[in-house]
Amino acid sequence: MSRQASGLRAWVLQRISAAYIGLYIIYATGHFIINPPQSHADWKAWVADPLVAFALSLFFALLLVHAWVGIRDVLIDYVKPIMARVALLTLFGLGFLGCGLWAAKVIFLAAMPS
Amino acid sequence: MMTKNRPVFLDLTQLSFPIPAIMSVGHRASGILMVLAIPFLVYMLDLSLSGAEGFATAQSVFSGWFAKLLMFVLLWALLHHLLAGIRYLLIDFDIFVDKEMGTLSAKAVMVAAPILALFIEVLL
C-alpha cells in the first residue's frame, strides 16, 4: 500500500477521500439531528437500506485510506529510526485493515435479511 | 534524492508560531486524535447494531459528563480538521493565498471550530 499511496497519487487520494468523508459526515450529522434512530430495529433498518449500507461501507473504506495517507505522512516526518518507523507503519496498517474488515462485517450482517 | 547535509533548524523554542502555523499543527493533532478514535467508532457501530441491549448500552455511553466532554473534544477535532482541510483545498485553487487572507482564514478556522462543535453537541 505504501508505494501506491505516495507522491501525487497520495495527494489526489487524500483530497478525493476528504471530499467524500466531509460531505458524508455533514449529511449523516444532519440526518441524526433531524431524525435520530429511536430503537435498535429503527437503526438497523436504516443501515440495512442498500443505499445506506453502500454509502456507509464506502465511507469506512475512504476514511481508512485517508487515515493511512495522513498517518504515513506524520510517521515519515517525525519517526526517523527506520525500524521504529517500519514497526509503527505496520502497526497502523494492520490496525486499519482490521478496522475495515470489522466494519465490513458489521454492515454486512446488519444488511443481511434475518 | 535530497542532499543529506542540507541545513535543518527545528529548535521549537526559537521558531515562531504565527496563527496559520498553530492552525496547521492543530490539523495534524486532530487527525492523529481521530485516527486513534477509529477503533472506538467501529466498536460503537458493532455494539449499537448487535441487538436492542447493545443499542441501549451504546446510547447510555454518551450520557455521562466525561463522555460528553470527550465527545466535545472529538467534535472539535473533526470540525477543526474539516474547516482547515477546506481552507487547504481553497489554497490549492489559489484562494486565501496572500498573507492577510491566509492569517484571517486561519483565525476563522480556529474560532469557528470549537463554537460549531459546541453547537452540534447541543443539537445531537
> Over chain B, what is the mean pLDDT?
92
- Residues in B closer than 8 angstroms to A47, CB to CB, are 49
Look at residue B2 in the predicted model and tell me its pLDDT. Answer: 56
Split at pLDDT 50, 70, 90, the class of A1 is very low
Q: Looking at this predicted complex, what is its ipTM?
A: 0.92
Choice between A91 and B62, residue whose per-residue pLDDT is larger: A91
Split at pLDDT 50, 70, 90, the class of B1 is low
Report CA torsion sign: B13, B15, B18, B21: negative
Please answer whether residues A41 and A114 qualify as being in contact, where contact means their C-beta atoms are separated by less than 8 angstroms: no
Domain boundaries, chain B: 21-123
CB contact under 8 A, B28 and A92: no
Q: Produce one character per residue of B34-72: b if its CB has 16 or more CB atoms within 10 Å, e if not.
A: bbebbeeebebbbbbbbeeeebeebeeeeeeeeeeeebb
For the segment(s) B21-123, the CATH number from 3.40.640.10, 3.30.70.260, 3.50.50.60, 1.20.1300.10 is: 1.20.1300.10
Q: Of the candidates B46, B78, B123, which has its C-beta nearest A102's C-beta? A: B46
Output the pTM of the full model. 0.90
Structural domains of chain A, ranges and CATH numbers in brackets: 2-111 (1.20.1300.10)
pLDDT by residue (tens digit) across B21-72?
999 999 999 999 999 999 999 999 999 999 999 999 999 988 889 999 999 9
Instruction: Provide the shortest C-alpha distance from residue B100 to chain A (in Å).
Output: 25
- Residues in A closer than 8 angstroms to B55, CB to CB, are 39-40, 43
